[in-house]
C-alpha cells in the first residue's frame, strides 16, 4: 500500500481535484490511502472566522462563513453528480450550521474561544475536504471510503499543536484501514485528531504531512507521497528566490533538518514516523505529475556539493543570551526550551555554542511574557526584525569552512553565525529581515553555481500561482538602509 497526501493547493478547486482523481487512478494498483488538507486557504479563513467571533464581530464572522460555504458548495457542485451531491450538500450544510451555532454561542452567550474551540473550528476544513474528495473519486470511477480522521489519529491534549500518540494511532490505523480498504480507496483528512476523551485536536499548521506519515507507518506503507505545488524539495524556497534546483534525493536527517529550519514543504515532524520502518517519503508536484520529485530515503549518494539546500525563517526576534558566570550553556538552552514549551510559546530556533545561546520567536510572539529564569546571571541582547538562514547537507560534516564561506559570501550584510557546536549537517546564520532575499541569493550563488547532476536536477521556472514578486537586489538593499537592527535589553529574572 502507499499513502498519497494532497495539500491545500492540490485540492483548491474542481480542476485540482480532477487532477487528484487522475493521479490516484494512475496508482490504483499500489492500493493508495488518500490524505487531504482543507481546500485552498480554508484553514486560514476558519481561524479568521474564530478571531471575528472572539471580537464579537457577528457580521464579519457570518460573512466569512457565507464565503466559505459558497466556496465549498461551488467546488462540491462541480465535482459531484446529482445522486452524490444531495448527500454531500446535506453534510456540508450540517458543518456550516454547527459553525454558525459556535458563532452565536461566542458572540451572544460569551462562550470563550479556547484552544480547544479553535481546534474544533479548524477541523471543519479537513472534515469537509475529505468528504468532497471521496465523492469526487467515486464519481471519477474510483471506489472510495471516507473515514473521519479523528477516529484514527489519537493525540495528547495540547490543543492547536497536539502531539500524536503514535502507537495507539498505529494500532487503530492498521485495524481500520485493512478493513475499510476492501471497500475502496480510504480517504481521510489530515491535520486533525482527537484525544482519548474524544476532544478534537489539531497537529499544528501544516500538520497534514504528519498525518500522512503516521498513516504510512501505521499501515507499513511502501511509500508516502506528499503531493504539493512545487517540483520537490528545492535548493531554496521559490517564494524567496526563484533560481533554485530540485533535489533528486535527500536523507531523512537532511529533510528533517530542512523542515525544522523553515522548508515549509514538509511539516517538521513528518520524517519521524517514516524512519523506523525506512519508508521512503516522496515530494511531488500535483500540477506536474511527470516530474519525479524528491525522494527522502535512509541513505543518499555521495554529493560533490556540501550544501544541499538553504532553508529560512523570515520574521523573527532573536534573543542572544550569554551566561556571565560558569553556567553551562547546554543546560540553560535545555531549560529555556522546556520553559517555552510549558508556556505554549514554542521556540522557532534554539541553539547554543560554548558561550552563547540563541533563542528565536516569530516576531508576533509575546515572548516578553516569558519569565526567563536561569540559574546564574545572563546578559540578553535582542535582535528584532531578523531572519535565520540554515544551510543543510551531510557534506557540511561539522567543518568550519562552510560558515567561513557563508560569511565571505555575505560580506556586505551584517550576518552572525548561530550554529550549534554539536550540529554536523547544518549551519545557521542570522541576518536582518530586510536582507533575507539578498542573502539567500548570494548564498545560493556561492554554493550552487555548479551542481552535482546525480543529486540535483535543473528546475524550470517555478509556476506556483500566487508567488509573491521578488524585489530586485536594489530594492532589498534600499530597504536595508531604512531599517537598522535594534538592540534592546530584556528584563531577565535571575535565580541567584
Ligand atoms: P501544501 O499546501 O501542499 O502542504 P505548503 O504550502 O505547505 O504546501 O508547502 C509548499 C510550499 O513550501 C511551497 O509553495 C514553497 O513556497 C515552500 N517551500 C519552502 N521551502 C521550500 C523548499 N526548500 N523547496 C520547496 N518548497 C519550499
Ligand atoms: N489545513 C492545515 C493548514 O493549513 C493543515 C495542512 O494543510 O497541512 O495548516
Ligand atoms: Mg503543507
Query: Whole-model pTM?
Result: 0.91
Mean pLDDT of 34-61: 97
- Residue 25 to residue 9: CA distance in whole angstroms: 19
- The pLDDT of residue 471 is above 50: no
Report the run of H or E that residue 82 belongs to, with start and end. helix 82-109
Lowest mean pLDDT among 217-221, 311-315, 491-495: 491-495
| Position in ligand 2 atom list of the atom nearest CA 203 | 5
Q: Are 292 and 275 in contact (CB under 8 A)?
A: no
Cα torsion 10, 14, 17, 19: sign: negative
pLDDT for 430:
96
From the alpha carbon of 231, which atom of ligand 1 is closest?
Answer: 25
β partners of residue 487? 383
Mean pLDDT of the chain: 89
Given a cut of 50, whether residue 484 has pLDDT beyond it is no
For a mutational test of ligand 2's pocket, the pick from 10, 16, 189, 205, i.e. the residue with the most ligand atoms closer than 8 A to its C-beta, is 205
Position 142 scores a pLDDT of 96
**72, 244 in Cβ contact below 8 A?**
no
**Does any ligand 2 atom lie closer than 6 A to the CB of residue 205?**
yes
Helix (H, G, I), strand (E, B) or coil at 92: helix
Which tens digits make up the pLDDT trace of 79-90?
998 888 999 999
Q: Taking phi first (over 0 means left), then psi (-120 to 50 degrees means alpha), and beta for anything else, what does residue 424 get?
A: alpha
Ligand 3 being an ion, which residues bring their Cβ within 5 A of it? Answer: 7, 206
Instruction: Write out pLDDT tens, residues 163-202.
Output: 999 999 999 999 999 999 998 999 999 999 999 999 999 9
pLDDT over 50 at 468, yes or no: no
- Asked whether residue 312 carries a pLDDT value surpassing 60, the answer given is yes
Closest listed residue to residue 52, CA positions, set 64, 43, 41: 64
pLDDT in tens, 256-297: 999 999 999 999 999 999 999 999 999 999 999 999 999 999
Distance 455 CA to ligand 1 centre (A): 20
Indicate the Cα dihedral angle 475, 479, 482, 484, nearest 10°: -140
pLDDT at residue 249, rounded to an integer:
96
Among 208, 213, 281, 296, which residue's Cα sits nearest to residue 250? 296
CB atoms within 10 A of CB 364: 8
Q: For residue 392, what pLDDT band results from cuts at 50, 70 and 90?
A: very high
- Per the CB < 8 A criterion, the answer to whether 211 and 35 are in contact is yes
Give the number of whichever ligand sits closest to the CA of residue 124: 2
Whole-angstrom CA distances from 99 to 18, 65, 102, 104, 185 are 28, 8, 5, 9, 29
Q: Which ligand is nearest to the CA of 43?
A: 2
Q: In terms of Cα–Cα distance, which of 138, 129, 122 is closest to 75? A: 129
Amino acid at each position: 500500500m502507499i499513502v498519497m497526501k494532497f495539500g491545500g493547493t492540490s485540492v483548491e478547486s474542481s480542476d485540482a481535484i480532477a487532477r487528484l482523481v487522475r493521479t490516484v487512478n494512475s496508482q490504483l494498483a499500489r492500493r493508495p490511502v488518500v490524505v487531504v488538507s482543507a481546500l485552498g486557504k480554508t484553514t486560514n479563513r476558519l481561524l479568521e472566522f474564530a478571531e471575528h467571533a472572539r471580537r464579537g464581530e457577528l457580521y464579519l464572522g457570518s460573512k466569512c462563513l457565507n464565503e466559505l460555504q459558497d466556496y465549498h458548495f461551488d467546488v462540491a457542485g462541480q465535482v459531484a453528480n446529482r445522486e452524490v451531491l444531495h448527500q454531500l450538500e446535506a453534510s456540508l450544510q450540517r458543518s456550516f450550521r454547527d459553525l454558525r451555532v459556535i458563532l452565536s454561542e461566542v458572540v451572544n452567550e460569551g462562550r470563550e474561544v479556547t484552544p480547544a474551540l479553535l481546534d474544533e473550528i479548524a477541523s471543519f476544513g479537513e472534515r469537509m475536504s475529505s468528504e468532497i474528495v471521496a465523492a469526487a473519486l467515486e464519481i471519477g470511477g474510483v471506489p472510495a471510503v471516507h473515514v473521519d480522521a479523528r477516529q484514527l489519529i489519537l493525540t495528547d491534549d495540547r490543543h492547536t499543536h497536539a502531539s500524536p500518540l503514535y502507537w495507539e494511532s498505529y494500532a487503530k490505523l492498521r485495524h481500520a484501514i485493512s478493513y475499510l480498504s476492501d471497500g475502496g480507496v480510504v480517504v481521510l483528512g489530515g491535520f486533525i485528531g482527537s484525544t482519548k476523551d474524544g476532544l478534537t485536536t489539531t497537529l499544528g499548521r501544516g500538520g497534514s504531512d504528519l498525518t500522512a506519515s503516521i498513516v504510512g507507518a501505521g499501515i507499513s506503507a511502501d511509500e508516502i507521497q506528499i503531493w504539493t505545488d512545487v517540483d520537490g524539495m528545492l535548493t531554496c524556497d521559490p517564494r524567496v528566490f526563484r533560481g533554485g534546483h530540485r533535489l533528486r534525493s535527500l536523507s531523512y536527517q537532511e529533510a528533517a533538518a530542512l523542515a525544522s529550519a523553515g522548508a515549509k514543504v514538509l511539516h517538521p515532524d513528518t520524517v519521524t514516523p517514516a524512519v523506523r520502518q525506512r519508508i521512503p517519503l516522496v515530494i511531488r508536484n500535483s500540477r506536474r505529475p511527470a516530474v519525479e520529485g524528491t525522494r527522502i530515503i535512509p541513505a543518499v549518494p555521495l554529493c560533490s556539493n556540501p550544501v544541499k539546500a538553504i532553508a529560512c525563517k523570515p520574521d523573527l526576534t532573536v534573543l542572544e543570551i550569554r551566561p556571565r558566570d560558569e553556567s553551562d550553556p547546554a543546560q540553560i538552552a535545555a531549560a529555556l526550551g522546556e520553559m517555552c514549551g510549558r508556556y505554549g510559546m514554542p521556540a522557532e530556533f534554539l541553539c547554543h555554542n560554548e558561550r552563547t545561546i540563541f533563542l528565536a520567536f516569530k516576531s508576533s510572539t509575546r515572548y516578553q511574557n516569558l519569565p526567563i529564569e536561569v540559574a546564574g546571571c545572563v546578559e540578553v541582547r535582542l535582535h528584532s526584525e531578523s531572519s535565520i538562514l540554515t544551510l543543510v547537507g551531510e557534506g557540511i560534516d561539522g567543518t568550519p569552512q562552510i560558515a567561513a564561506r557563508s560569511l565571505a559570501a555575505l560580506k556586505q550584510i551584517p550576518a552572525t553565525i548561530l550554529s550549534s557546536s554539536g550540529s554536523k549537517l547544518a549551519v545557521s546564520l542570522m541576518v536582518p529581515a530586510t536582507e533575507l532575499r539578498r542573502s539567500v541569493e548570494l548564498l545560493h550563488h556561492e554554493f550552487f553555481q555548479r551542481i552535482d547532476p546525480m543529486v540535483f536536477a535543473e528546475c524550470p521556472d517555478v509556476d506556483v500561482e500566487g508567488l509573491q514578486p521578488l524585489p530586485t537586489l536594489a530594492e532589498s538593499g534600499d530597504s536595508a538602509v531604512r531599517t537598522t537592527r535594534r538592540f534592546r535589553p530584556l528584563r531577565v529574572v535571575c535565580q541567584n
